[in-house]
Amino acid sequence: MRFLRHVLTAGAVGIFTLAGASFAQADYPERPITMIVAFSPGGGTDVAARSLAPFIEKYLDGSITVVNKPGAGGEVGFTAIAQAEPDGYTIGFLNTPNLITIPIERDTRYELENIAPIASVVDDPGGFHVRSESEFETLDELIAYAKEHPNAVTFGTTGIGSDDHLAALALQRAAGIELTHVPFPGASAVRAALLGGHISLGVFNMSEAVSFIEEGRVRPLGQMAEERWPVTPDVPTFREQGYDIVQGSIRGIGAPAGVPDEVLQKVASAIEQAINDPEFQQIAADQSLPLRFMGPQAYSDTLNALREGYLNLWQESPWAEQ
């Protein structure tokens, strides 16, 4: 009888514990949520995070505080997300390729497995751009010239290991050409160098090129999206031009690994509703943000596929040396 009472008591405690956990998750969030941004205030990721946060609050019925933790190309912030308590009260913005490439380049205090992807928000495709006066009218013309004149074409990016740099390396490998890399501290510096005629080619995200394309100062040769971005419908993708390259910067939100699935799904649902909110969509349009929602599983699959591609690229041609 004592054994039976012990089993019944233990079972009751287990049921009570599960019910309590379920009840706690149903009430989530019960206190403010911290959203970590791994880059400095005022930057593109920070602006996007602070623009989106109020709309997530609206649909999550909770409060969010944005906290900047910049440093080491995003490693400081990504580590803070990965090492936080997995209770759903710390989330953070994730940026590719940095999130994935930093652990490939060097030893880090986090791995991709330490972070649970929740939802993607922005998928900003890479783009190849020349001045409107350039002799290159198409991507094929640039590639043909580069084949006849190795390293004569200079291309500017936002730095070694950036999504822009990796995009150019991917094309070099796919097309069998050699270009000369000129790294800059930011996209604005790349654009200034391109418009000033100091480099042949500017490699930067499509959202950063829109105003210059509309003004007729820059000619885009291609965008590295799966499909044409509706804002730039006349710019062909690289796939359309015979190069199976999809590259860019995905910004999304993640949490420490181990957060209950119910919490992840609840936050993901709030993010999806926030992205679809007409008011936020207008804000995103004003910021030239190419919105793309993916839920936890699709976002995770995308990040893992990107890591496989970057690992292969690193093994063939480590970008830190180029």
User: How is 262-273 classified by DSSP, letter by letter?
Assistant: HHHHHHHHHHHH
- Common-topology check for domains 32-123+248-316 and 125-247: yes
Question: Domain 125-247, what fold?
Answer: D-Maltodextrin-Binding Protein; domain 2 (3.40.190)
Average pLDDT over residues 256-270: 97
- Give whole-number Cα distances, 292 to 56, 161, 246, 305, in Å: 15, 24, 14, 17
What is the pLDDT confidence band of residue 14, given thresholds at 50, 70 and 90? very low
- 90-95 and 33-37 as β-strands: parallel, antiparallel, unpaired? parallel
Angle at 291 between CA 113 and CA 34, to 5 degrees: 50
Q: In which band, very low, low, confident or very high, does the pLDDT at 19 lie, cut at 50, 70 and 90?
A: very low
Q: For residues 273 and 244, what is the distance between their CA atoms, to the nearest angstrom?
A: 32
**pTM of the predicted protein model:** 0.80
- Tokens at residue 41, please? 């205030």
Is the predicted pLDDT of residue 24 greater than 80, yes or no? no
For the chain, the structural domain boundaries read 32-123+248-316, 125-247
**What phi, psi does 77 have (nearest 5°)?**
-70, -45
319 Cβ contact list (under 8 Å, min separation 6): 160, 161, 165, 166, 169, 313
Q: What angle do CA 33, 18, 253 make, to 5 degrees?
A: 30
Q: Quickly state the pLDDT bin for 321 (edges 50, 70, 90).
A: low
Strands (E), 87-142: 90-95, 115-131
What's the confidence (pLDDT) of residue 5? 38
Partners of residue 37 on adjacent β-strands: 68
Topology of domain 32-123+248-316, CATH: D-Maltodextrin-Binding Protein; domain 2 (3.40.190)
pLDDT tens for residues 181-193? Answer: 999 888 889 999 9
**Closest Cα partner for 69 from 39, 110, 34, 102?**
39
258-280: burial string, b at 16+ Cβ within 10 Å, e else = ebbeebbebbbebbbbbbebeeb
User: Residue 203's pLDDT is what?
Assistant: 95
Q: Collect all residues with Cβ–Cβ distance below 8 Å to 256 and sequence separation of at least 6.
A: 81, 82, 83, 84, 85, 86, 90, 114, 115, 116
Is residue 131 scored above 80 in pLDDT?
Answer: yes
pLDDT digits (tens, 9 = 90+) for 43-77: 788 989 999 999 999 999 999 999 999 998 899 99
